Amino acid sequence: MQPSRQIYPIERIVSAASYLTAGGAGLVWLIIATLLRKHLTTFLLYHIMQSIFLSILYFLIVKFAELIYVILFRIPVINAIPYLINMPLPVFYGLSIIQLLTTVIILYLVITAGLGLYSYIPWVSDIININTGRK
């Protein structure tokens, strides 16, 4: 008999919540599963690891962007570029281009996890697939 490959609603909820909390809900779920010695499904492990990886990657990108911003701020003509990228746009309810991009990515991840699908982000998902043994 083959094990069931059904994705349970609690797995979908934890996966979506993991993206919304920058991996926090998934980390708590991992700790609880470890303490109770429960086995995580591939679906849940995939989304938890991807949310944690994306949170760390986002932090590193923000710190690198701050460094670039400090350098660009000193150049007279080019110092307007960081401002234009972070400028609130009234068309998008006051969100900047960067905020809009991150919001769209998070919504994509939450919706696909909620539907029980494996979301794909190039390079990131490939690394997670290899490390979770999915592919």
pLDDT tier, 82 (very low <50, low <70, confident <90, very high otherwise): confident
Q: Does any domain span residue 34?
A: yes
Question: CA angle, corner 50, sides to 48 and 56, nearest 5?
Answer: 105
Round to whole Å and give the CA distance between 135 and 118: 12
- Read off the pLDDT of residues 15-30 as tens digits, 9 standing for 90 and up: 999 999 999 999 999 9
Tokens 């932090």 belong to residue: 59
Q: Which amino acid is at 78?
A: I
Instruction: Provide the token pair at 16.
Output: 């979506």
Q: Does any domain span residue 4?
A: no
Q: Does any domain span residue 24?
A: yes
The verdict on pTM exceeding 0.85 is: yes
CB neighbours (10 Å) of residue 96? Answer: 16
Instruction: Provide the token pair at 65.
Output: 């962007």
Round to whole Å and give the CA distance between 34 and 72: 46
Q: Which domain holds residue 53?
A: 9-132
Q: Does any domain span residue 112?
A: yes
Q: Does any domain span residue 3?
A: no
Q: Does any domain span residue 1?
A: no
pLDDT tier, 78 (very low <50, low <70, confident <90, very high otherwise): confident
Tell me what pLDDT residue 22 has.
94
Tally of structural domains, the chain: 1
- Read off the pLDDT of residues 97-111 as tens digits, 9 standing for 90 and up: 888 999 999 999 999
Q: Which of 41-55, 73-87, 91-105 has the lowest mean pLDDT?
A: 73-87
Higher pLDDT, 48 or 88: 48
Q: Does any domain span residue 40?
A: yes
